[in-house]
A and B are shown apart, each in its own frame.
Chain A
Amino acid sequence: MGSALPLGDPAPLDGLLPPSAAVGAADRAFGVYVHVPFCRVRCGYCDFNTYTASELRGARQVDYADHAIAEIRMSRRVLAASGVPARSASTVFFGGGTPTLLPADDLVRMLGAVRGELGLVPGAEVTTEANPDSVGPDDLRRLADGGFTRISFGMQSAVPHVLAALDRTHDPARIPLVVGWARDAGLDVSLDLIYGTPGESLDDWRRSVDTVLEQRPDHVSAYALIVEEGTKLARQIRRGELVGPDDDLEADMYEHVDDALGAAGYEWYEVSNWASSPGHRSRHNLGYWRGDDWWGVGPGAHSHIGGVRWWNAKHPAAYAERVTAERSPAVGREVLGTRARETERIMLRTRINEGVEIASLGGGGPEAVAGLIADDLADAKAARAGVLTLTRRGRLLADAVVRRLLDD
C-alpha cells in the first residue's frame, strides 16, 4: 500500500455509507484487511504506511491490537446502520508494516474480533505477512492454532548484495528454516520476491528464483521494484549513487521467473502472482481485482464497499485518537461514478487470468481486442471463447493495454 493518501471528499464522522454501497452486496465476497503499521527498520525502497519505534510519537505498539479491535467493532455497526446486509468474511489478511512484530497473541486476538463481530465463513483464508527474521517456530504454531491458514514471507532476494541494496536485514539462510517451521505448523506458504533492484544482475535473479523453487512454496509473488518518490532509494537514484531499474532488464527478469515457475508447475493468475494450484491462489487479493468488498482496518488502510472507497487517518497516533473517541478513523472517501467503476473494472480484471468478458466492453470492445491480438497482447484462443486475457507480452504491457481499451 502506497503511503500517500489519494485526494477525495471528506469522510463523515460517523463513517456511514451512502445507500448505493449496499446494492448487490449479497453477490460480492467480503474480506477484511488489517494493517499493522510497524517495522523494526525502514527499508530504503518502502513508502508504505509504517513506522519504526522512534517515529511513533507516543502511539504505543502494545495498544495497537485494542485500537484495531475498536475499529472492527465499529465496522459491524457502520455496515448495519448503512443497510449493508451482514456477511461473514471469507478472507482476512494482515499486512504491513511487519505484522509479526506484534506478539502472535495480538494477531490472534484481532482475528478473534473479526470472527466474533463479523463472522468467518467456514474454510476462510487467513493470511499474515511476515518478515523472515521476526518469526520463530512457536509464533507460527500459535498463529496456526489461532486460525491463520497462510503466511507470506517477504523474502525479496536470495542474494546478499541485493538484500543489502534493499536495506533488508534478514539472512537468506533463514528462508528454508522459516518455511520449514511454517509447513510444520500447517500453514500454506507464499514467498515474495522483488526484481530490478539496483545492482541486481539477471544471474542474481536466477539464483533467487532457484532458491524459491527449492522451497516448493504454494504461492509466489514477484514484483518489479517500484521507485516511489520520497523514498531513500529515489534520492539515491536521483543523486546518481544508484542506477535506477532498466525496463528491458526487468522484462527479461519477468520472462525468466514466468518461464521457471511455469516449468515447475506454477500457473500465473495475476500479473505478479503465481500459484501451485488454483486452490492456492490468494483469495483475499483476488477480491481486490474482482471488485469485491473489503473493510480495511488500521492507520492509512483503504476500504471498498459497493463502489464507495475510503481511507483512514495515516498516522497511528491520529488513528488511535479517533477510534478511542469512537469516531470513524476515515479521513477521506470517494463515491465512484459509473465511469470510474468501469475504468477500475477493466484496469483490475485485465491483470488476472480470469480476464474480462469481451461482450462487457461495449461497442468498441471487439475491435480493440482484435487490435490487441494482432499486436500479441491478448490471447487469441481466450478471445474466441469471449474473454479477454493477456499474453505474457500483454502482461508486461498491461497498462498500455488498459489505456487502449479505455480509448474513446
Chain B
Amino acid sequence: MSPRAANPPVPAATDPALIRNFCIIAHIDHGKSTLADRMLQITGVVSDRDMRAQYLDRMELERERGITIKSQAVRMPWAVSDRAYALNMIDTPGHVDFSYEVSRSLAACEGAILLVDAAQGIEAQTLANLYLALENDLEIIPVLNKIDLPAADPEKYAKELADLIGGSPDDVLRVSGKTGVGVEDLLDRVVERIPAPVGNADAAPRAMIFDSVYDSYRGVVTYVRMVDGHLNPRERIQMMSTKATHEILEIGVSAPEPTPTNGLGVGEVGYLITGVKDVRQSKVGDTVTTAVKPAAEPLAGYTEPLPMVYSGLYPIDGSDYPELREALDKLKLSDAALVYEPETSVALGFGFRAGFLGLLHLEIVTERLRREFGLDIIATAPSVVYEVTTEDKKTVTVTNPSEFPTGAKIAEVREPMVKAAILAPKDYVGTIMELCQSRRGSLLGMEYLGEDRVEIRYNMPLGEIVFDFFDQLKSKTAGYASLDYEPAGDQAADLVKVDILLQGEQVDAFSAIVHRDKAYAYGVLMTGRLRELIPRQQFEVPIQAAIGARIIARESIRAMRKDVLAKCYGGDISRKRKLLEKQKEGKKRMKMVGRVEVPQEAFIAALSGDTEGKEAKKK
C-alpha cells in the first residue's frame, strides 16, 4: 500500500466516485486538530518542515483556546489499492452556539469521523452533533483518540461507542493523533466506508456555502460544496437567497493553502473569491448558482442566523465610543451572526445592544474587541428574547429589559425554551437534577451510556441557561459535566421586570427580567452588591429593588460623616490644592444618578459580580 497518492486527482476534473467528503465530530480538546494535522502530514499536503501545530485553526484566539470557531476544508490525496482518491476534510466548529454552522458543514459531507478521547469518553456536544450527523444520514466512523495516554481505557469507551451507534466494539478504530498510530488505517477506512458524492453534472450548478470567512487582503472567501453542475473561473454567479450576482475572481481548493483551479465539479469542495467585503453577502447555507442560467430550486436547509442572546456592550472609557462602533463594523464583516444597534444607558453612557448566537459567541466577540482592537469594554448581563403581550393585545419583542412594557397590564410573557442535554458521571445525577429543577427545568429523560455515565435531558428556559448555568454546572460536577442545548420553542411564564433604584432613580443597566419566584433573590443580590460598591455620599442613599411601583428589597448607604483633611498648614497647601484639582477631574468621570455620584468602576464591578472590586469605594 502506498500511502501518498502518486498521481492525485486533478481538481475540477475529478470523477465524483474518487471523492470522499467527511468531517470530524469531536469535543473540544479531544484532539481533533492534532489528528487533522497528522492527516495533512501523512497525506503529504503539508511538508513536515512546514508543519505548524494545529494548522487548521487559524485565528490566534482559536489556537489559544484550543477550539475551532471557523471551519475550513482541506483537500488531501490518498491512494488505496493503487487508486488515487481526493479526500475533503471539512473542519466543523465544535460549540453549541454555532450549531447552524455545524449542520451546514455536516450537510456538505457524506460521512463523519466520530472522534472520542479514549480516556474521557463521549461528551454532550459530541453526542448532539452525532445525532445531527445521523439525521443527515452520514456514514459514521467511530474512532478513539489518544490511545497513547496512560489513562486511556479503549475497551470501555469502544463499548460505549458501539452501544451508541450500533456495530461491534472491534469496529472502533484506535489512533493517536499525537504519534500517528492508526491514522493511515483511518484514511483507508474513510475511502472504504464513506460513500462517494452523487450529483447531476449536466444540471445548472448548485453549490452550498458551508462557511464564509473574511480575509483583510482578499475580501470574503466563500467555502462551498458542489452538488450539481460545474462552476468556472470568471463566471458570474448568483446567491439564490438574495439574487445578488458577483463575478468569480478566483476559484480553487485548499491544499491547504488556497490553490486556484480550473473550476469545481460535482461533489468537490473548494473556495470562491468574488471581491465582496462583507460575509453577509455570502451567507452560510445559501446556494450559489450561475447568473446566466440559474438553478430553479435552491438546496434545502438555508436559514438566517437568529440571535439568541443579547447584551449591552459599553466602552469603559466613554470617549472610545467611536472606536467601538468602528470595531463592531469591522467584526461584522467576518461574523454574519453579529447584530447590534446603538443604545444609551444612564449608568454606562453610550454603547451598543448586540445580539449573539449564544454565550460563547458573546465571549468571543468581546474578547476580539479587547484583543484585536485594544478596547476596554463591559458587557451587561446577557438577556434572551421575550415576547410580551399586553392586555390591549399588543405584542412587543423584548431583547432588553428596558423595552419591557410598563404602562399597560401584561397579559402574557413568552420565553424561549431549549432542550438541554447534560452528560456526566452517574454520581452527579442528584446534584445536576437539583440544579436543573432550581432553574425551572423539567426532566425529559435520562439514559445510561455504558456503565457509569448518564445523559440527562431537560426542557429549560434559555434565560436560565444564560444566567451563570454552565459555570454552576461545571463547579458542581468538578468539571465533569458537559452541556449541549438546542432551541425548543417557547413557553408562557410568570416573568417580571425587576428595576433597581438609587435614591428613587432607576439604574437601567441593572433591570432584569426574572421569574416572579426569583425576583426577591435578584433584588437582594443587586441592592446588596451596590451597597458594597457605591461610595458613601453626603446624604443617605436608599437602594431599592422594585417590580413596577412595588418595592421588594431595600438597602441603604449611610451618609458619609467625615471628609476633611485634619491638618492644612503652610507646607500642606500646594499638595492639598492639587489633590482637590485631581478630585475635580475624577468627578467628571463619575456617573450621576440623580444626585448620587457613582464611579463607573462600581457599576462595572456590580455587573460583573466582582464585589471584591471595592477599589472604587476607597477613594
Contact = CB atoms under 8 A, between A and B. Distances in A.
A364 B296 CA distance: 76
Given A247-B560, A254-B562, A397-B562, A288 B567 contact: no
Contacts of A8: 574
A402 B584 CA distance: 10
A399 B561 CA distance: 11
A150 interface: no
Nearest to B588: A408
B560 A403 contact: no
B568 A348 contact: yes
B538 A397 contact: yes
Interface stretch (A79-87, A165-173, A295-303): A295-303
Contacts of A375: 538-539
Interface stretch (A14-22, A61-69, A120-128, A339-347): A339-347
Contacts of B578: 6
Contact of A33 (B538, B570, B576, B580): B570
A214 interface: no
Nearest to B587: A403
B580 A248 contact: no
Contacts of A4: 575
Q: How many B residues touch the partner, as a band?
A: 20 to 34
B571 A300 contact: yes
A309 interface: yes
Given A6-B578, A223-B566, A343-B580, A1 B561 contact: no
Interface in A203-226: 223-226
B572 A1 contact: yes
A224 B568 CA distance: 12
A334 B577 CA distance: 12
A276 interface: no
B587 A347 contact: no
Interface in A326-359: 334, 340, 343-344, 347-348, 351
- Secondary structure dominating the interface of A: mixed
Contacts of B563: 247, 396-400
A406 interface: yes
Contacts of B566: 223-226, 271-272
A281 interface: no
B564 A398 contact: yes
A1 B569 CA distance: 7
A29 B578 CA distance: 25
B574 A334 contact: yes
A371 to B, nearest CB: 10
B583 interface: yes
Contact of A403 (B562, B570, B577, B583): B583
A248 B561 contact: yes
Contacts of A225: 566
B562 A250 contact: yes
A397 B565 CA distance: 9
Contacts of A288: 568-570, 573
B584 A406 contact: yes
Given A254-B562, A395-B564, A343 B571 contact: no
A2 B571 contact: yes
A343 B587 contact: no
Contact of B577 (A224, A300, A347): A347
B562 A247 contact: yes
A377 B539 CA distance: 11
A238 B576 CA distance: 23
B581 interface: yes
Contacts of A6: 574-575, 578
A351 B565 CA distance: 10
Contacts of B568: 271, 288-289, 347-348, 351
A296 B571 contact: yes
Interface string B583-618: 110010000000000000000000000000000000
Nearest to B579: A399
A311 interface: yes
Contacts of B538: 375, 377, 397, 400
A304 B569 CA distance: 12
Contacts of A377: 538
B558 to A, nearest CB: 8
A396 B524 CA distance: 32
Interface string A108-141: 0000000000000000000000000000000000
Contact of A406 (B569, B573, B576, B580): B580
Contacts of B573: 288, 302, 304, 309, 344, 347-348
A344 B575 CA distance: 11
A23 B560 CA distance: 41
A261 B564 CA distance: 20
A225 B565 CA distance: 10
B567 A226 contact: yes
B587 A294 contact: no
A368 interface: no
Nearest to B578: A6
B569 A224 contact: no
Contact of B561 (A2, A251, A296): A251
A250 B565 CA distance: 12
- Residue of B566, B570, B577, B584 contacting most chain A CB atoms (<10 Å): B570
Contact of B562 (A285, A301, A343, A396): A396
Contact of B580 (A223, A226, A311, A403): A403
A406 B581 CA distance: 9
Interface string B545-565: 000000000000000111111
A2 B575 CA distance: 9
A406 B538 CA distance: 16
B560 A302 contact: no
A40 to B, nearest CB: 22
A247 B617 CA distance: 13
B580 A347 contact: yes
B230 to A, nearest CB: 72
Given A1-B569, A223-B567, 14 more contacts: A8-B574, A226-B565, A248-B562, A302-B574, A304-B570, A311-B571, A347-B580, A375-B538, A396-B562, A397-B562, A397-B563, A398-B565, A399-B563, A403-B584
Sorted nearest first, the 4 A-B pairs with minimum C-beta distance are A1-B571, A251-B561, A398-B564, A224-B566
19 contacts: A33-B570, A251-B562, A254-B562, A288-B568, A300-B571, A302-B573, A302-B574, A309-B574, A343-B580, A343-B581, A375-B538, A397-B538, A397-B560, A397-B562, A397-B563, A399-B564, A400-B563, A403-B580, A403-B587
Interface of A: 1-2, 4, 6, 8, 33, 223-226, 247-248, 250-251, 254, 271-272, 285, 288-289, 294, 296, 300-304, 309, 311, 334, 340, 343-344, 347-348, 351, 375, 377, 393, 395-400, 402-403, 406-407
